[in-house]
Amino acid sequence: MSDLIEWSALGQVLVAGVLVGAGIPALFALALRLWAGTTPDGEGAAASTDQAPHDTAGRAPGAATIARPTPVRLAGAILCMAVVVGAIVTGLVFLVSGGH
């Protein structure tokens, strides 16, 4: 039976499948999470009904104020997105050039 299955090739395909099938989407999700701002605790909860319809900034009551991501988080998000875009471009170039 070992003559029918090339175990090293099977292992390479398995590793590549796990990296591309789970690794790239995980990096994309991490990039989105890093890119998203943060909400301080307690904000974003529903406001009581006795408040004015809008505050002075024009926000509805209970609207969350979302802070921008820190420069480190933004750099991490950009790095993750660059890896994802690079993997996509590499895959497309490989397919277009006739590789299979």
31-88, pLDDT tens digit by residue? 999 999 877 665 544 444 455 555 566 667 766 777 888 999 999 999 999 999 999 9
Q: pTM value? A: 0.67
d(CA 10, CA 79): 31
Amino acid at 82: A
d(CA 100, CA 3): 24
Are 19 and 87 in contact by the 8 Å Cβ rule? The answer is: no
